[in-house]
Amino acid sequence: MKPVRIDITHIPFSRYGAYLSVTRDEGKDGEGPAKKLVIHSVRRRFEEGPLMELTFGAGDGEDFTCTAAPEALTVENQHGSAVLWLRDDDTLGIESRGLDLCLRLRHWGYGTETGAGTFRMISGTMSLYTSFAVAKGRADLSGPQYKSEAGNLRDAKTRLAVRCVDGQILLSLTVRHAAPKGPVLPIQPGDEIAAVRAEWEDFLGRLPEETGGAGDFPVVTWYNLWSSFVRAEGIYRYDTMLMSKKGMSSTWSWDHCFNALAMAHLTDPQAARRIAMDQFSAPFWLQDGSGVLPDMWNPDLEIRWGTTKPPIHGWCFGLLMDRFRFDRDTLTEVYGWLESWTRWWTETSDTDGDGIPDYPQGCDSGWDNSTLFDAGYFMETPDLPAFLVLQMKTLARIAEKLAPYPAFEGKAAAWNAEADAMLARLIEHSWNGERFVAKRSGSHECDEQPTSLLSLMPLVLGELLPQDIRDKLVLVLERDFLTDNGLATEMPESPKYRANGYWRGPIWAPSTYLLVDGLRRGGYERLARTVAERYCRMSAERAKGNYENFDALCGTGLCAPGYTWSASVYMLLHWEYEC
């Protein structure tokens, strides 16, 4: 089997189930990669995740080369080498031969020696304990020092320097909410790394047969997905794929749908259905009694309400129904989830009662700062009714499967009628004869010439959208948004376009896949293939990684590296279009 090489400036180093990851940042202005590794705790989110820095050699650290395989990360320079691996979900192992090393806590905290070769640091900022066990090497805990309000000099001891003894260092560090009890298991690098390799190879064995000439990138992307799972814990009922193990270490109530679709392609049908449903159902275990889903949640038990995400879940489950047969209990449960979620939008988020629901703000749409939301809050954007039409159609499809049971008699026809009525209202309300517009709830003020790709998202309706409307939207899509890398989220010719403007220009995976699917179902297979091929080429050749988003004109990766919805969309397009 050909070795897999991971560039940890593009994809974090981790393993299935682990709550730790290791990254290396790219330098700025041609300086090359940073002379340090960063250890992240993905129990926390965003900027809180980086827990400590790891340097090698004297002073502030010497330069080194870094290579990674799924099972281990190797650091080398002229003085020696070191190997890092994940011993378990919370523990990092390090073996060094010839390289001294230093670990520094990134946030405010304090440390102490707890025994012979054992140390503990407490991150006050992150509320985490890091316990160190140095089996070989000489370790010293120190600094920084600062004065208390009383004028006393205090040593925080958040810097652990470890020097080689007889040319070797062997240590492990464990990060948890509470200090672990009991002895540290003997560190056995060879056996432990081999066990991780076996786990990876088992998952790799579930990769569908390779297609196209994409080189190593599909396997690297498959690693990206495998290594982004965390173990079921707390509010994570099942093993769950995070969006990234650098920065965006949480789950959002639409990102998970694309990961569910990718996992549905595992070669073992039973495992595929189970893991896909684990990912799909994740937000529904937290669904509020009103029907609304949380915006996001993370392993550190944060659940964010007040915003939510768009209702693409019916579309997603419809695709899962195309692949799998679900039993009565599963269909009944999902029906309840989707019905409640749909009613929340139609009854609770239709502020002016005109039959067209609205997004209170951009974050609810998933397109946080799209130019469609420059007009204000509570915007009736055309994507929302389109998603609800697809969700209602899926509810009708589920009800038809459950029709033999009295509780579902007539419900399929009712949902189909409601979907048709919603589509008619969308066209009457938001179609100006040339394109869809977004209107402010209540006043219905609008910009008749929107420059955001979001205004074209009704293309997700595919064949359900009238042909003349489809043709006009496709003309605008191809003329104004299609770049060499795919679909820009803002017209590149727009004065509001920003290369790194979040939803004001960059290419994003979810909009790409939703539109590719809609174009295919709407009869525009050539254009769907063009978009798919350009996205795949950009990811593999220009960005060389799966980022949260991408520069629409030059194709470089932006924001969070190793982002799983981008990885999942790459794999889906790679399989479907052999690109």
The pLDDT of residue 209: 76
pLDDT in tens, 83-142: 999 999 999 999 999 999 999 999 889 999 999 999 999 998 888 999 999 999 999 999
Q: How many residues does the chain have?
A: 579
CB-based contacts of 446-450 (< 8 A; 24+ apart in sequence): 446/375, 447/375, 450/371, 450/372
pTM of the model: 0.95
pLDDT bracket for residue 27 (50, 70, 90): low
- Say if CB 379 and CB 358 are below 8 A apart: yes
pLDDT in tens, 536-558: 999 999 999 999 999 999 999 99
The pLDDT of residue 28: 60
Residue 184 has pLDDT above 90, yes or no: no
User: Can you tell me the mean pLDDT for 342-366?
Assistant: 97
Q: At what angle do helices 525-537 and 564-577 cross, to 10 degrees?
A: 130
The pLDDT of residue 154: 82
Mean per-residue pLDDT of the chain? 94
The pLDDT of residue 519: 98
Q: Give dist(CA 238, CA 527) in Å, integer.
A: 38
Q: Which residue has the tokens 């679900």?
A: 326
Sheet strands (E) in 236-307: 240-241, 251-252, 296-297, 303-304
In what helix (H) or strand (E) does residue 111 lie, and over which residues does it extend? strand 109-115
Domain extents in the chain: 20-197, 205-577
CATH class of 205-577: mainly alpha
